[in-house]
Amino acid sequence: MLLTCYSLSQIDHFGFLQDGTFKQRYLVADNHWQQPNGPILFYTGNEGDITWFCNNTGFMWEVAEQLGAMLVFAEHRYYGESLPFGQDSYSDVKHLNYLTSEQALADFAVLIQNIKTIVPGAQNSPVIAIGGSYGGMLSAWFRMKYPNIVGNGCEVALAASAPIWQFPDMVPCGDFYKIVTQDFAKSGKNCDANIRRSWKAINNVSSSGSGLQWLSEEFSLCTPLKNKNDAVSFKSWLQETWVNLAMVDYPYEANFLQPLPRWPIQVVCKYLGFDSTVSDEQLLHGVAQAAKVYYNYTGNAPCLNTSQTATSSLGALGWFFQACTEMVMPMCTDGVQDMFEPEEWSFQAFSDECNSFLGVRPRADWAGTVYGGKKIGSHSNIIFSNGGLDPWSAGGVTSNISQSLVSIMIPDGAHHLDLRYSNKLDPPSVRAARALELKYFQKWIRQAQKSTGTGFTMSKDRKNSIK
Amino acid sequence: MLLTCYSLSQIDHFGFLQDGTFKQRYLVADNHWQQPNGPILFYTGNEGDITWFCNNTGFMWEVAEQLGAMLVFAEHRYYGESLPFGQDSYSDVKHLNYLTSEQALADFAVLIQNIKTIVPGAQNSPVIAIGGSYGGMLSAWFRMKYPNIVGNGCEVALAASAPIWQFPDMVPCGDFYKIVTQDFAKSGKNCDANIRRSWKAINNVSSSGSGLQWLSEEFSLCTPLKNKNDAVSFKSWLQETWVNLAMVDYPYEANFLQPLPRWPIQVVCKYLGFDSTVSDEQLLHGVAQAAKVYYNYTGNAPCLNTSQTATSSLGALGWFFQACTEMVMPMCTDGVQDMFEPEEWSFQAFSDECNSFLGVRPRADWAGTVYGGKKIGSHSNIIFSNGGLDPWSAGGVTSNISQSLVSIMIPDGAHHLDLRYSNKLDPPSVRAARALELKYFQKWIRQAQKSTGTGFTMSKDRKNSIK
């Protein structure tokens, strides 16, 4: 049974002027928990509603029995129901001031402390932090900043598809879009070339009023394009569509960001196989069909809404604020090694955009300073898993740093495929990844328990002898 | 040569509403620095003027040559010249809101980043964090929170006399005063017994106006005692005097908190050898002589000021604020195992006092949550040194936690004696401690350098071959 619970946490852990608390939501399932001292699998929630992450992290449910583990899914402050100032949380920069990763990590530590205090038998339970994407970054950082041996932090972390190095001066800014492009290149003949060609075709067609109208109809847009600016936004929306497809290029039918067929990029590319003699209109007709694979696989969408590209369970505004403060992630395109219009990365332009929309300016170096950048070799017990199809692997840890900072690559995997429920269509690489992750959990938990002398053991013999 | 420098740091590292910066002072000496890649000995400044800590940390100057090290002494925000809001820094709780250990640690990381950027040859220099007392807590915590392998954090930490466990529910609240008492008990016959007796004698004598006047004259107080309340404050001041003496019970003449003779408690105890038949007045005459050892060893003090017990280089108000927010350190006395009037620890009473004086309330559990409490076994490369005479050892790490979290005990040492300049009167235990500290520095630096492949070596051969 999955229980919904709430825990009190300080609104500001790092200052004492704002002394208020807020209710943090978390979900708990203890049906497989081996009491006392069985481990806690702790999902470090990211930028969205925790129930959605809970539903999309089947891996935790599947390993709970093998580990005798309690499951906890912690919602990240400012998302879902965990709003420090209720409906005012997003009202201005003053209220948004406590939306940072450091505050979120402190919430997790306080929550674990509370759980260990109120749940009999949990006091000596080792904690395995698990997360995907930004949640995976939080898992890794939680282990780095709160690395207890059975305290209120965690003993082990699984950081799935966590781009902890997608920050200034850590990885080339173009790698992300290169991987997107490669996914399309290998999913159908001419597929990437036709997307690369499509931007100019859109420019050509959208230069006239009738062209804009044609485009709007062709793409079944809810709000027709009216002018040049609309066409620019339209291209950004399309670009984000291809990125999202690369993230969710799963080997089976799934509904993560949108309901989609198996290997959706292959389906998309069926509409983009033209040779170079194709006309702009023919090409864009294909692009429209391709976009509808993403936005209307169910056939139920009356029109396409260019203001949204993914599930509303993700908190787009909150993430925009985080990107505009700590989470500065440089991206760039050159149109040669990738299939997009060339665009350089400009910190200044990004900072100005943040300032004009939100009234804050990002700090380019802070994430690197506070989380150690690429010099993280002193840490331990973190698994970094990455999918070869996932553009976010560009900023991930894709080779071993030490014996206890390990990388697991899943060549056929998109964005944290390993965290999803297992499926009969799973490629062997993700099955192997999950098995290895479980092995590391068991090994590192055993080490932690050995050093503290707490008596939980995961072997069946012990389990039987208890009864 | 010692240079005074300034580095810009964010006033609020953990929020983006307050986007101002302030000038952090630091002192640098590079005459022994072996460029490139020689280590940086980084003093993590505590609650006072950094020049004073610099002058009282001779150990760093003495090992600089052997390590080919650069010395950096970083001033803690809100102390000395490093005032985030200049003269307004202490004006109210709003301005004091950024006085926390977490902000101070972030300042250190930013400062190291800046030094590594502007000083040629420093980029791959390993950093050894060193500090004493609260500064030692910061050293340990800096290694815990920013544990790089040659990044912007540190590779090694020496936490001298650092009571990282003097927090609620970690150590018995009475141990601190027990150690103070033991110091007096072993420094002269009847010494602790007479101090224990003195409180009642003060109560008796101060019950009349003439008694208050006599006490004031006997102690040469600058401001005579007027009433019962004054007598209570007077006792607190005396209690703090004995505590301070225990902290600075050094084996040679020194001037740390006050100018003092060698083994000052032995000198003090010469005035406190009475047997139990002594009258209140005789006893208090002796106590007054004893107090004057501490307050007027130079003979230059015209009177004794009960509003100050130590050097003005320490920032008492700032520390009071820190104690009233994060640094909640329970202390208690029972008058049996210690020589003080019985006083229980009451978090509520302490919190109310903080609220009435400063308008803030402390958070009892926060330090334990954010710094891991007693479950710090996942960390590495920290030396915890403690003096057997030092009451702060009650809250210190006094036995090894692992092979790389080591304790060094100095039985004859008072408060971070090991950090002081060596002296011909140093007991063998402190000489051995310093030698061992140096050995760990060398070992752990070598390990860090080995894992990064940076070319600095500390052997003389290499030094000669460079020339």
Q: What is the pLDDT along chain A (467 residues), one digit of tens a residue?
A: 899 999 999 999 999 999 999 999 999 999 999 999 999 999 999 999 999 999 999 999 999 999 999 999 999 999 999 999 999 999 999 999 999 999 999 999 999 999 999 999 999 999 999 999 999 999 999 999 999 888 889 999 999 999 999 999 999 999 999 999 999 999 999 999 999 999 999 999 999 999 999 999 999 999 999 999 999 999 999 999 999 999 999 999 999 999 999 999 999 999 999 998 999 999 999 999 999 999 999 999 999 999 888 888 888 899 999 999 999 999 999 999 999 999 999 999 999 999 999 999 999 999 999 999 999 999 999 999 999 999 999 999 999 999 999 999 999 999 999 999 999 999 999 999 999 999 999 999 999 888 776 645 444 433 433 22
Cβ contact B149–A16 (<8 Å):
no
Cβ contact B97–A16 (<8 Å):
yes
Bridge-partner residues for A259, per DSSP? A255
Query: In angstroms, rounded to a whole number, what is the distance separating the alpha carbons of residues B213 and B227?
Result: 10
Confidence of residue B151 (pLDDT cuts 50, 70, 90): confident
The interaxial angle of helices B209-218 and B280-295, nearest 10 deg, is: 40
Cβ contact B375–A152 (<8 Å):
yes
B313 has pLDDT over 90: no
pLDDT at B150: 80
Contact between A99 and A78 (Cβ < 8 Å): yes
Cβ contact B370–A17 (<8 Å):
no
Contacts of residue A108, defined as CB under 8 A and 6 or more positions apart, other chains included, come to A42, A44, A74, A129, A138, A142, A146
Q: Which residues of A378-404 are buried (b: 16+ CB within 10 A; e: fewer)?
A: bbbbbbbbbbbbbbbbbbbbeeebeeb
- Nearest chain B CA: its distance from A454 CA (Å): 13
Contact between B39 and B70 (Cβ < 8 Å): yes
B403 has pLDDT over 70: yes
Q: What is the pLDDT of residues B280-298, one digit of tens each?
A: 999 999 999 999 999 999 9
Mark whether A465 is an active-site residue.
Answer: no
Query: In angstroms, rounded to a whole number, what is the distance separating the alpha carbons of residues A144 and A96?
Result: 25
Cβ contact A148–B372 (<8 Å):
yes
pLDDT at B462: 38
Task: State percent of chain B over pLDDT 90.
Answer: 92
User: Which CATH number among 3.40.50.150, 1.20.120.980, 3.40.50.300, 1.20.120.1200 corresponds to the domain B174-296?
Assistant: 1.20.120.980
Give the one of B17, B113, B361 whose C-beta lies nearest to A93's C-beta.
Answer: B17
- The residue of B11, B13, B16, B169 whose CB has the most chain A CBs within 10 angstroms, and thus the best one to mutate to test that interface, is B16
Q: Does B320 touch chain A (CB under 8 A)?
A: no
Query: In angstroms, rounded to a whole number, what is the distance separating the alpha carbons of residues A268 and A261?
Result: 10
> Among all residues of chain B, which has the CA nearest to that of A124?
B375
Can you give the length of chain A in residues? 467
- Nearest chain A CA: its distance from B157 CA (Å): 13
Secondary structure of residue A72 in the 3-state scheme: strand
Q: What is the mean pLDDT of chain B?
A: 95
Give Cα separations from A339 to A242, B142, B269, B344 (angstroms): 10, 45, 84, 72
Q: Does A431 touch chain B (CB under 8 A)?
A: no
pLDDT at B51: 97
> Among all residues of chain A, which has the CA nearest to that of B365?
A110
Better-scored residue on pLDDT, B345 or A152? B345
Identify the burial level of A446 via C-beta atoms within 10 angstroms of its C-beta, where 0-12 means exposed, 13-18 middle and 19 or more buried. Answer: middle
Q: Does B152 touch chain A (CB under 8 A)?
A: yes
What residue spans define the domains of chain B?
2-164+376-452, 174-296
Give the one of B93, B149, B376 whose C-beta lies nearest to A375's C-beta.
Answer: B149
> Among all residues of chain B, which has the CA nearest to that of A105?
B370
CB atoms within 10 A of CB B337: 14
- Nearest chain A CA: its distance from B109 CA (Å): 7
> Among all residues of chain B, which has the CA nearest to that of A155?
B378
Show residues of chain A in contact with B363, CB under 8 Å: 10, 16
* Lowest-confidence pick of A116-130, B2-16, B309-323: B309-323
Q: Is the peptide bond before A36 cis (omega within 30 degrees of 0)?
A: yes
pLDDT at A454: 63
Quote the distance between the C-alpha of residue B50 and its chain's center: 13
pLDDT at B315: 85
Q: Which strand ranges, in their side-by-side order, compose the sheet holding A405-410?
A: A2-10, A21-29, A70-74, A40-44, A127-132, A156-160, A382-387, A405-410
Contact between B57 and B419 (Cβ < 8 Å): yes
B398 has pLDDT over 80: yes
- Nearest chain A CA: its distance from B49 CA (Å): 23
pLDDT at A462: 38
- Nearest chain A CA: its distance from B404 CA (Å): 12
Q: What is the pLDDT of residues B181-205, one digit of tens each?
A: 999 999 999 999 999 999 999 999 9
Contacts of residue B31, defined as CB under 8 A and 6 or more positions apart, other chains included, come to B1, B64
Query: In angstroms, rounded to a whole number, what is the distance separating the alpha carbons of residues B340 and B347?
Result: 20
Give this prediction's pTM.
0.95
pLDDT at A315: 85
CATH topology of domain A2-164+376-452: Rossmann fold (3.40.50)
pLDDT at B298: 93
- Degrees, nearest 5: CA angle A239-A240-A243: 95
Show residues of chain A in contact with B375, CB under 8 Å: 148-153
Q: Tokens standing for B5?
A: 């420098």
Contact between B99 and B105 (Cβ < 8 Å): no
> Among all residues of chain A, which has the CA nearest to that of B381?
A378
* Residue linked to tokens 């290998």: A186
Nearest of B215, B238, B241, B239 to residue B226 by alpha carbon: B215
Pairing of strands A40-44, A21-29: unpaired
Q: Does A376 touch chain B (CB under 8 A)?
A: yes
pLDDT at B454: 63
* Lowest-confidence pick of A402-406, B87-91, B303-307, B308-312: B308-312
Identify the burial level of A210 via C-beta atoms within 10 angstroms of its C-beta, where 0-12 means exposed, 13-18 middle and 19 or more buried. Answer: exposed
Mark whether A285 is an active-site residue.
Answer: no
> Which DSSP string do the residues of A337-392 spell out, in sequence order?
SSSS--B---HHHHHHHHHHHHS----TTHHHHHH-TT--TT--SEEEEEETT-GG
Show residues of chain A in contact with B381, CB under 8 Å: 378
The interaxial angle of helices B209-218 and B228-247, nearest 10 deg, is: 30
Pairing of strands B127-132, B40-44: parallel
Show residues of chain A in contact with B107, CB under 8 Å: none
Nearest of B157, B105, B162 to residue B137 by alpha carbon: B162
